Structure 1
Amino acid sequence: MTEALDRERWLNDLRSRVPEVTVIDALARQSGGALLLDVREDNERATGSPSGAIGLSRGFLELRIEQLEPDHDRDLLLLCGSGQRSLLAGEALQRMGYRRVHSVAGGMAAWKTAGLPVSAGTLDSDAAERYSRQVLLAQVGEAGQAKLASARIVVIGAGGLGAPALLYLAAAGVGHITIIDDDRVERSNLHRQVVHADARVGVGKAESARMTLLALNPRVQVQVVAERLRAGNVEALIRDHDVVVDGADNFATRYLLAAATRRLSIPMVYAAIERFTGQASVFDPRRDDSPCYRCLFPEPPSAADAPNCAEAGVLGVLPGILGLVQATEAIKIVLGIGQPLVGRLLTYDALGMRFRELSLRRDPACPGCGAEATFTGYTDLEHMCAAAL
């Protein structure tokens, strides 16, 4: 009995400092421009939240509120499950200098009882927990996570670059991932192609990668295409995807991708590695100012000038770094946030531990995207690359 009385006194003391409003008043204030914050946990909000409310868990409120709402004079309405945590949240915001803070009496329970509008949660309890740290980002949120869940990304190659890119795209919750690779896992791959395992030596790389991704995140859909990208299938295989991640290890595939992504208007996230160095960029044909891959390499270099990893060697961690850059750029493109590497070439020197950024402008005379460029066919591109070998 004493504990109950003490708790009631404590709540009354909080109410004396943090004013309360009814759910009806809260709805009217929200219509007038007040910001309604649902401070319940992610899994609680997964079942639904007041329409128009911003989800920001009580435990992260002080860390994120000033990024979300820097105006300390904005009318803030705090809602929890029953109206108690919102009082504590209101007191915390008052200490931070927010002057117009109100707790919604009765919380979500009272909101539902009053029959006020509720938006169904875009994330179920599993997704709310799995992606909780990512959803906390104002640039992502539940809406951004839903974009990732509906995105379709194709990764060309499950090798050095594709392996880390695939792992983090799956972990981030990209809903549909297509893996195109006709090679098989070799023991010499394992020091850098971390999506595979020793027990899967001899297994197709695309299938091996699929097994790892589904073990990491069973929510994603992974399509395996155990084919080599060629003139006859390139458009069919990458069509209907939102982003193409280029993890290829040869120029013929890259020239095919450059042409096909341009014709299909799909962003291409490029990277390449050699020994201790790498580079990355984004070629986005949806943008008039974006260069294409052939602005960087108008013609394929000779095999002597561009040896592959089997000939030149590669530091095992190098493709991990560049592959993660690719995954980052692909996620940014899907979410529409930040500044993708369009018109910029990011270079990395592992020995010197230096990143440099070079400007990459669209070439008016580019044979791939210039004013006089003419598409002669994918077969001609294959022949062009074969002649350079």
Structure 2
Amino acid sequence: MTAAAIDSHHLNELLGSSSPPQVIDVRSPGEFETTHIAGTLNVPTDLLQQHRDELVAHLTRDVVLVCHSGQRAMKAQESLRTSGFDHARVLVGGVSAWEAAGFTVNRGRQRWGLERQVRLVAGSIVMTSVLSSIAAPRLKWIAAAIGGGLTVASLTNTCAMGMALAKLPYNSSATPDARTVISQLAGSSVERKGQLTGQLD
């Protein structure tokens, strides 16, 4: 385990301590609504990237970034580092590992996670184009294009298909805006300062 990462058991201990970290879930609002760790603040990756400097200005304590498996959280961590915030750790294995460890989550309307949706769509397109290429050989290049896209997604740690799927009605949910998120972070900062003052008194 590196200083830039944290496992589920350690996070659970910290959340029960007198100085809990700020947990930020960078998944889409739909995924967050489906399953999330209690007390987590939803800041989707695209929102975090667009307003990272404003958000960083209100991050006054250690942060743990969470997504489904850890990949998007690592991307968010890199984004925060470019704005000079080095106190963000990634939950290893994401919400999946948290649940697997037996820790509780808040549940809402159930839907497939974005990464699972990407696997379904990409796999279906590849299988269909390969089978169809028996009659129309040129269709095999569709499968090649999907394979190339997945390779690029892996190398760049981005996923155009995932971002597109996140905008579908199936994945829709109340999307947090920057002002609301910053307000929540500011309120959290005030509460934290009050706790520290109480401890010092």
Counterpart Cα distance in 2 of 1:73 and 1:94: 15
Counterpart Cα distance in 1 of 2:8 and 2:179: 26
1:139 is aligned to 180
User: Does the C-alpha gap of structure 1 residues 101 and 137 become closer, same or farther in structure 2, counting only changes over 3 Å?
Assistant: closer
**8 Å CA contact 1:68, 1:138 repeated in 2:** no
Alignment gaps of 5+ in structure 1: 1-14, 144-389
TM-score by length of 1: 0.28
Which structure: larger Rg? 1
Q: Deviations over 1:116-139 (max 9, x none)?
A: 12122489895962643xx32443
User: Does the C-alpha gap of structure 1 residues 139 and 86 become closer, same or farther in structure 2, counting only changes over 3 Å?
Assistant: closer
Counterpart Cα distance in 2 of 1:130 and 1:72: 25
* Equivalent residue letter for 1:113: A
Counterpart Cα distance in 2 of 1:83 and 1:140: 21
Choose between structure 1 and 2: higher strand proportion.
1
User: Does the C-alpha gap of structure 1 residues 130 and 70 become closer, same or farther in structure 2, counting only changes over 3 Å?
Assistant: same
2:50 is aligned to 63
Counterpart Cα distance in 1 of 2:95 and 2:179: 23
User: Does the C-alpha gap of structure 1 residues 116 and 20 become closer, same or farther in structure 2, counting only changes over 3 Å?
Assistant: same
Counterpart Cα distance in 2 of 1:121 and 1:67: 29
Whether 2:96 is the aligned partner of 1:109: answer yes
CA RMSD of aligned residues (A): 3.2
**8 Å CA contact 1:38, 1:78 repeated in 2:** yes
2:189 is aligned to none
2:188 is aligned to none
User: What is the aligned residue count?
Assistant: 125
1:98 is aligned to 85
Alignment gaps of 5+ in structure 2: 112-167, 185-201
Whether 2:70 is the aligned partner of 1:27: answer no
Q: Deviations over 1:230-276 (max 9, x none)?
A: xxxxxxxxxxxxxxxxxxxxxxxxxxxxxxxxxxxxxxxxxxxxxxx
Equivalence map 1:1-389=2 (5 Å)? 19-31=4-16, 32-68=19-55, 70-71=57-58, 74-121=61-108, 129=172, 131-132=174-175, 135-139=176-180
User: Does the C-alpha gap of structure 1 residues 61 and 140 become closer, same or farther in structure 2, counting only changes over 3 Å?
Assistant: closer
SS in 2 for 1:33: coil
The alpha carbon displacement at 1:70 in A equals 2.1
User: Does the C-alpha gap of structure 1 residues 54 and 123 become closer, same or farther in structure 2, counting only changes over 3 Å?
Assistant: farther
The alpha carbon displacement at 1:63 in A equals 2.7
Q: Deviations over 1:335-388 (max 9, x none)?
A: xxxxxxxxxxxxxxxxxxxxxxxxxxxxxxxxxxxxxxxxxxxxxxxxxxxxxx
SS in 1 for 2:99: helix
Identical positions, percent: 23
The alpha carbon displacement at 1:72 in A equals 5.1
User: Does the C-alpha gap of structure 1 residues 84 and 140 become closer, same or farther in structure 2, counting only changes over 3 Å?
Assistant: closer
The alpha carbon displacement at 1:28 in A equals 2.5
User: Does the C-alpha gap of structure 1 residues 122 and 65 become closer, same or farther in structure 2, counting only changes over 3 Å?
Assistant: farther
TM-score by length of 2: 0.52
User: Does the C-alpha gap of structure 1 residues 77 and 130 become closer, same or farther in structure 2, counting only changes over 3 Å?
Assistant: closer
The alpha carbon displacement at 1:58 in A equals 1.0
SS in 2 for 1:36: strand
SS in 2 for 1:97: coil
**8 Å CA contact 2:77, 2:89 repeated in 1:** yes
**8 Å CA contact 1:46, 1:128 repeated in 2:** no
User: Does the C-alpha gap of structure 1 residues 66 and 122 become closer, same or farther in structure 2, counting only changes over 3 Å?
Assistant: farther
SS in 1 for 2:98: helix
